[in-house]
Chain A
Amino acid sequence: MELTSVFNPSSPQAWAIANLGIFMIIIAGTILAIIIVLVTFISYRFRRKPGDDEEPRQVYGNEKLEIVWTIIPFLIVAALFIFSVITMVKVNPSSAIIEDQKPDLVIIGHQWWWELHYPKSGVVSANEIHIPVGKKMLVRLESIDVIHDFWVPEVARKIDLVPGHPNYMWLEADEPGIYLGQCSEFCGIAHAHMRLRVIAHHQEEFDVWEKGQLYVPPTPRSGEAGKGSKLFKEKACMNCHSIAGTDAVATVGPNLTHLATRTTIGAGTLLNTPINLAKWLKNPKGFKPGALMPNMKLSDDEVNAIVAYLEALK
């Protein structure tokens, strides 16, 4: 989990690209090695000896040689091109599939977080993509503001989230685990904090997760959490966030219905612990400069109450 790498693929699509990458490295490495050796050799062998002032033989070229070194790159390029086209077809869903199939997951880019919808089950979440291992998920990508870019090197190709131009890709993981990723099209001030993770489970575990996400947690009426749920309404939180089972239905910010089941807050900015959550509520921009959640000027008591409420949302 610590190491993300293009050459540590964990899906057929990422494998296809990695294989092309290895092919490219072999070709490029060979060419580079030849050129370095040649230039070093020539620099040594043909350097001017001190005192030798005579001009060398004047060679104006050699047509055959020049034709040869025009044709050889052609052949290399042809091989690389064919391999690329094969890889392209392997990695992308065909247009027939895009037309026929309903997407399994819709990712909507927002300035500095990821909105997630699973249209088939109705699950809504943010920033952490849960998928079952070994299943090819058809993903539709959109953006509601600027261009973002989905990049989780080990499990999928990179693709832009373009406003007004939905894109499709395959998302799949061979092994259960957490795969780290990040928005990689510069999208404004908090671009560096627009991280995401793909969490791959065995199918049974995924089903459990899915069920949990569809469960509507009861709204607490008493205690700290009850106070928190009231504050959530009063403090304008509901103008931006949704929580299932309440009348908070806004989508300016991430859906908070099952916030407590997520591992991070602020699109990977902080680990999701009660202490961090309290810090976040007091001053979101302190941890994620530019974040579009305002500082709500909450008192410590108010923060504790809201944290208790949000922690109860499982």
Chain B
Amino acid sequence: MSRIPWVPETTEPLPRVGESEGLLTWAASVDHKQIGIMYFIAALSFFCIGGLEALLMRIQLSRPDNNFIDPELFNQLFTMHGTTMVFLVIMPFLIGLGVYLIPLMIGARDMAFPRLNALSFWVVVFGGLLLYYPFITQSGATDVGWFAYTPLSEKPYSLNNGPTYWALALLCTGIGSVASGINNIITIITLRAPGMTMRRIPLFVWLLLVTSFLLAFAIPILNAGLVTLLLDRILEANFFAPSSGGSAILWQNVFWGFGHPEVYILVLPAFAIICEVIPVFSRQPIFGYGFMVGSAIAIGLLAFGVWGHHMFAVGLGVPFNTYFSLASMLIAVPTGVKIFTWIATMWGGKIYFATAMMFATAFVIEFVIGGLSGVAFAAAPLTWQLTDSYFVVAHIHYVLFGGSMFAIFAGIYYWFPKWTGRMLSERIGKCHFWLMLIGFNLTFLFQHMVGLLGMPRRVYTYPDLPSWNWLNLLSTIGACVLGFSVLIFIFNIFFSLRKGKIAGNNPWNAWTLEWLAASPPPVHNFDEVPRIHSARPLWDLAHPDMPDEPESFNTGVTR
């Protein structure tokens, strides 16, 4: 075993955002850590905007026949909420997390293409501004839903410029995402530390590798679709206009051809976070590294062949429905493997419930709820009742909030010390966790029921039916609790940035390379990277007498 050199606590700290010269160094930065942090700031800002949009909708829906918001605005709100949360919050946050952590985890100095990395980020920001620009102009933002079904999103039915801006905005973020995907792939393949074989890279990096392939291959489908839609809208090309010989359904095939892989772009990195947090706080290696990698690859491949489950109600015939039912149900298998693996990793451990671990544990349960309702949607006949109802709203939020967002919060509590050098307050953090858990479930659990009772999604108002009223009211109360918990979280960030405990290099006693660097890491990350002998290099360092399993695909080993 080679000796690992001691890394000094701080060498060159990153410039502070507040300083006037510092600001320029951020804007012009090609450093992956600065870009990562800028992704976080952008994503969290958009998270607040998207959350506000959701709250306004919930207030409107708190009682029947409410007049708080008119339908024009309501339709803009739900469209912008969906688009924002998917393309400007979860995606940039997770991409940013990858950009920040991948080089550190594989012992690299930076991404393979630092300038491309910066371009990706700024293009995403520009896309966000483009999306929001028409909100403040007369024409109003896009109001055709975040999947912009044709022909509703075509010129004759949406004369305002909103959908045009929407398509241009997503084209921008799309170009950024493809570039990030390619950048990640090349970084992971070429810049690993000596000794770090593909079987020794942290699971986080593995799962991001799979995600990056999805980015590189699924986003172009959307980009092509957006260009076609723009041709229709600007040049009257009629690709998606049935009245002129186009096809309304073609758009759905294109959009969901991207849209289902997108679900895994939003969820695999969340899995990646959980794959780091659960082992570290349970003090055990992941239970079955090989199965974890294999199931991620299986999910990535299957993800491209299941888009039709979004189209079961379109009426495309028995063969279509049968194939897509089967393929979609199959995804439950590798997903189940992941759930069982996390639970088994906790089993027999010594679990330390820091806030990060509490979010990760809650994630497992919330995601199972979303996953199980997802299996229901894979059964075409159930989709024939549940799709486009509030049930599907509940489902996506269990997957994307209870899943992706809970994992993101776990990740923030876990890596914040690395990013800033200070710990987030655990006291405030637990407060945040419990309020968010209660608020989230209160908001979305009952939406399953109101969907089963026949309430469609995307209605700005609903008739006075007793069973719908109180369920909607509960949901609105939950949303307020949820909103409040986010305020606490934001307070925690600002509070801890000033007053948080100094973190040191490795506050959680974790095992991956990023914890070898100083907190925050100096511009060049590591003075020297040790030779890697296993998936847990810092474990090897701490336990020279009992090194980690060198061949991570080996399973059935106990030490």
Contacts and interface: CB of A to CB of B under 8 A. Distances in A.
Interface of A: 2-7, 16-17, 20-21, 24, 28, 31-32, 35-36, 38-39, 42-43, 46-49, 52, 54-66, 69-70, 72-74, 76-77, 80-81, 83-85, 87-89, 91-92, 95, 111, 141, 145-147, 149, 151, 153, 157-160, 162-165, 167-169, 180-192, 195, 268, 289-290
A52 B382 contact: no
A189 to B, nearest CB: 5
Nearest to A4: B454
B549 interface: yes
A48 B285 contact: no
B247 interface: yes
Contacts of A185: 149, 313, 388
Interface stretch (B28-36, B267-275, B322-330, B432-440): B322-330
B71 A57 contact: no
B248 A147 contact: yes
B349 interface: yes
28 contacts: A2-B465, A5-B453, A35-B343, A39-B364, A43-B361, A52-B350, A54-B350, A58-B284, A66-B340, A70-B336, A76-B332, A88-B321, A88-B322, A145-B157, A147-B149, A151-B388, A153-B454, A162-B315, A184-B387, A186-B145, A186-B457, A188-B152, A188-B157, A189-B71, A190-B71, A191-B459, A192-B71, A289-B72
Contacts of A48: 283, 350-352
B389 interface: yes
B288 interface: yes
Given A5-B454, A85-B322, A188-B152, A61 B556 contact: yes
A146 B151 contact: yes
Interface of B: 70-72, 75, 143-145, 149, 151-152, 157, 242-243, 247-249, 282-291, 313-315, 317-318, 321-322, 325-326, 329-330, 332-333, 336-337, 339-341, 343-344, 346-353, 361, 364-365, 368-369, 372-373, 375-376, 379-389, 452-454, 456-463, 465-467, 543, 546, 548-549, 552, 554-559
Given A160-B313, A164-B247, 17 more contacts: A3-B453, A42-B347, A43-B351, A56-B283, A60-B289, A60-B554, A61-B288, A61-B291, A91-B381, A91-B384, A95-B318, A145-B157, A147-B248, A159-B384, A181-B454, A182-B459, A189-B71
A146 B456 contact: no
Contacts of B381: 16-17, 20, 84, 87-88, 91, 157
A39 to B, nearest CB: 6
Contacts of B332: 73, 76-77
Given A5-B453, A58-B559, A84 B325 contact: yes
* Among B350, B383, B548, B552: residue with most chain A CB under 10 A: B350
A189 B144 CA distance: 9
Contacts of B459: 182, 191-192
Nearest to A58: B559
A70 B337 contact: yes
Nearest to A111: B157
Contacts of B380: 84, 88
Contacts of A32: 368-369, 372
* Among A167, A181, A182: residue with most chain B CB under 10 A: A182
A77 B543 CA distance: 43
Contacts of A38: 343
A39 B454 CA distance: 33
Given A5-B454, A24-B376, A66 B337 contact: yes
A56 B348 contact: yes
A228 B152 CA distance: 36
A17 B284 contact: no
Contact of B462 (A2, A164, A192, A289): A192
Contact of A153 (B369, B385, B557): B385
A149 B313 contact: yes
Contacts of B349: 46, 56
A16 B384 CA distance: 11
A35 B243 CA distance: 51
A146 B242 CA distance: 9
Nearest to A5: B453
B452 A5 contact: yes
A70 B463 CA distance: 46
Contacts of B361: 39, 43
